[in-house]
């Protein structure tokens, strides 16, 4: 938790420290889908949205927190990243999202 307030971004959408609204929305949806799959497996999750457009999913495993983000490549594809490595494609369907959740819950770090 951060007790220091974030500075408001400049008006007008995207800027040097703010993702475009459609990018933020896509990341939120993809991480929410992963969060739902993890909750079904019994893992508590927390979706974090920062004022600058940063989006992350925190997952608790036995007192340890793992943070997951969505990263995009130059071709417009996306992937779930945790532990510094892209583990699974994001937005590739419910089956792949469930596989990512199972791998994360199973200890792939």
Please state the pTM of the whole predicted model: 0.79
**Does residue 100 belong to any structural domain of this protein?**
yes
Query: Cα(90)–Cα(34) distance, rounded to whole angstroms?
Result: 9
Name every residue whose Cβ is closer than 8 Å to that of residue 54 and which is 6 or more positions away in sequence.
Answer: 19, 48
Q: How many domains does the chain divide into? A: 1
**Does residue 20 belong to any structural domain of this protein?**
no
**Does residue 7 belong to any structural domain of this protein?**
no
Query: Cα(36)–Cα(24) distance, rounded to whole angstroms?
Result: 18
Q: Give tens-digit pLDDT for 28-70.
A: 999 999 999 999 999 999 999 888 888 999 998 878 889 999 9
Query: Cα(88)–Cα(91) distance, rounded to whole angstroms?
Result: 10
Q: Give tens-digit pLDDT for 90-102.
A: 988 999 999 999 9
Domain of residue 98 covers: 32-105
């Amino acid at each position: 938790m951060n007790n220091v307030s974030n500075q408001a971004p400049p008006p007008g959408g995207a800027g040097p420290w703010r993702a475009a609204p459609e990018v933020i929305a896509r990341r939120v949806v993809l991480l929410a889908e992963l969060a739902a799959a993890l909750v079904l497996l019994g893992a508590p999750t927390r979706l974090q949205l920062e004022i600058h457009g940063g989006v992350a999913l925190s997952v608790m495993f036995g007192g340890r927190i793992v943070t997951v983000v969505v990263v995009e490549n130059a071709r417009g594809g996306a992937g779930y990243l945790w532990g510094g490595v892209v583990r699974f494609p994001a937005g590739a369907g419910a089956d792949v999202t469930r596989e990512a959740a199972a791998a994360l819950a199973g200890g792939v770090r």
